[in-house]
Copies of this chain bind each other. A is one copy, B any other.
């Protein structure tokens, strides 16, 4: 009987599994500190990136190799010769299934990871599917919060920037929905507000949240400021873009009004929305956050390789 552990979206995770993953990620920090291990020697991961995402790809490849595994893959969709020849995603996945033990896939279309998992003989991990989800980013974000505070329950978390198109904040919301007494602030310009379906999900899960355009009003009370990029192309004019994005820059002045034990996160890359003067503040946790991606991905790959069985 085929039994595969896929990672497709953030909603698939319940609290118990999250805690197990975070514990496993913590153990992986020790594994890396001691030079890695060979637990997946002989196993092969395929990096199937139909869209470039060097950072995410390298993070997964590092994770697999830290456990002794091997990697094959392709860096860029435009070079996937079969796709050029008109092959369906399903055919590609059926064939790649025969080459390796786990597929990590980035795609441009919503739902691509689910389609892949439907035909794969090996586990599929969604490394971002268009405007859909990016569950492993959300997991590393949540892991970072738990590591920095020792808990997630009871925290006040502000997500800032483009909340309409930023799939990261959607996936993170779904993860946070598993915790108690969390308060989420969705802070964005009016034209890129958090989507209705995310709010409905939070309502259903009983999570408190508040929407606002005003970062200043909550800066002093929050535990976590989760900053994201705002993209020019979402705005009708450069003027409106600059006006909107200018309100949400995290700089030394804003930091001075935040709590001494708060942290600033960012999925990176940044492009001006966090000033470099912030980097030296201990509350700047975004580079620590980036490293956590390797540990979480080790935990996920380990689970996928261990708990999956081919037919």
A residues adjacent to B (C-beta < 8 A): 35-38, 41-44, 46, 51-55, 58-59, 61-62, 65-66, 68, 70-76, 79-82, 84-87, 91-92, 94-96, 98-100, 229, 268-272, 287, 290-291, 293-294
Which residue on chain B has the smallest CB distance to residue A272?
A: B86
Judge whether A287 and B95 touch: CB under 8 Å. Answer: yes
Please state if A35 and B42 are interface contacts (CB–CB under 8 Å).
yes
Chain B residue with minimal CB distance to A35?
A: B42
Which of B35, B75, B94, B98 makes the CB contact (< 8 A) with A74? B75
Name 26 interchain pairs, CB-CB below 8 A, sorted by A.
A36-B42, A37-B42, A38-B41, A38-B42, A44-B62, A52-B79, A52-B80, A52-B84, A54-B79, A54-B80, A54-B81, A55-B95, A58-B72, A58-B73, A58-B100, A62-B72, A65-B72, A71-B72, A82-B268, A85-B269, A87-B270, A91-B268, A94-B290, A95-B287, A95-B291, A99-B291
Q: What residue in chain B is nearest A70 (Cβ atoms)?
A: B65
Assess the A85–B271 pair: CB atoms within 8 A: yes
A294 lies within 8 A of B98 (CB): yes
Is there contact, CB below 8 Å, between A290 and B95? yes
User: 10 tightest A-B contacts by CB?
Assistant: A98-B291, A87-B269, A36-B42, A86-B271, A82-B269, A62-B99, A52-B81, A65-B70, A61-B72, A95-B290
- Among A66, A79, A82, A95, max chain B CB count under 10 A is at A95
Inter-subunit contact A100/B269 (CB<8 Å): no
> Closest CB of chain B to A84's CB: distance in Å?
8
B98 touches A287 (CB 8 A): yes
Chain B, residue nearest A81 (CB):
B52
Write the nearest CB–CB distance from A53 to chain B, whole angstroms.
Answer: 5
Which residues of chain B are within 8 angstroms of A55 by Cβ–Cβ distance? 81-82, 95
Question: Which chain B residues lie closer than 8 Å to A42 at the CB level?
Answer: 35-38, 66, 68
A66: chain B residues at CB < 8 Å are: 42, 44
On chain B, the residues within 8 Å of A270 by CB distance are: 87, 91
Residues in B whose Cβ lies below 8 Å from that of A65: 44, 70, 72
The distance in angstroms between the C-alpha atoms of A103 and B95, with both chains bound, is 23
Taking the nearest CB of chain B, how far is it from the CB of A52, in angstroms? 4
User: Which residues of B lie under 8 Å from residue A100 when comparing CB positions?
Assistant: 58, 62
Is there contact, CB below 8 Å, between B95 and A268?
yes
Question: In the complex the two chains form, what is the Cα distance from A272 to B68 in whole Å?
Answer: 40
A86 to B65, CA, bound (A): 29
A192 to B29, CA, bound (A): 53
Residues of chain B within 8 A (CB-CB) of A294 are 98-99
Contact B58 A46 (CB under 8 A): yes
Tell me the complex Cα distance, A41–B92, Å.
29
Which residue of chain B is the closest to A52 with respect to CB atoms? B81
